Amino acid sequence: MSACRLASLNRRAAQGVLLGLILSLTSALAQLPPASPAEAGLSAERLERLSLYLQSVVDEQKAAGRGRSGRTAGEARTTRPIGSIPGSRWSAS
């Protein structure tokens, strides 16, 4: 068996193990009962402030996500494909 094929099989096995771990963790977390911020040791007021701040970051297109315009930050800035270099031979236009 070639080294390349063996590496591919090892990578697939590792991906399978990782997927299994993620699925196990997801099902374990789904069984946890919901808790209020106070029960978890968090401040509801500070969580609300954090939520408002993160929404403002998304709205200002400083982070990925959907802002109030309904477009992602990347859609709002450019229509060029990611990685294209204007004027280069690899440019989409």
The first and second tokens of residue 42, run together, are: 């968090």
Containing structural domain, residue 64: 43-71
**pTM: predicted TM-score of the whole model, two decimal places:** 0.36
Q: How many domains does the chain have?
A: 1
Instruction: Give percent above pLDDT 70 in the chain.
Output: 65
Question: Which residues are bridge partners to 66 per DSSP?
Answer: 72
Q: Determine the Cα angle at 14 with ends 13 and 18, to 5°.
A: 120
Is residue 14 a part of any domain in this protein? no
DSSP-derived secondary structure letter, 33: P
Task: Read off the pLDDT band of 79 (50, 70, 90).
Answer: low
Examine the pLDDT at 75 and tell me if it is beyond 70: no
Q: Are 67 and 59 in contact (CB under 8 A)?
A: yes
Residue 2 lies in a domain: no
Distance in angstroms (rounded) separating the CA atoms of residues 77 and 74: 5
